[in-house]
């Protein structure tokens, strides 16, 4: 259960970083 929680937090963090990077790219265009 602990590993599932950690992997879920890592996945959410990665998705958040992906959204932020996409926003940065759009802002530069």
**Two structure tokens written together for 1:** 């259960």
Residue with the bigger pLDDT between 29 and 13: it is: 13
- The pLDDT score that the predictor gives to residue 14 is 98
**Residues 2-23: pLDDT tens digits?**
999 999 999 999 999 999 999 9
- The pLDDT score that the predictor gives to residue 29 is 79
Alpha carbon distance 25, 7 (integer Å): 27
- The pLDDT score that the predictor gives to residue 28 is 84
Alpha carbon distance 27, 7 (integer Å): 30
């Amino acid at each position: 259960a602990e590993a599932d929680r950690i992997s879920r937090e890592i996945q959410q963090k990665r998705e958040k970083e992906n959204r932020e990077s996409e926003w940065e790219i759009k802002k530069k265009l």
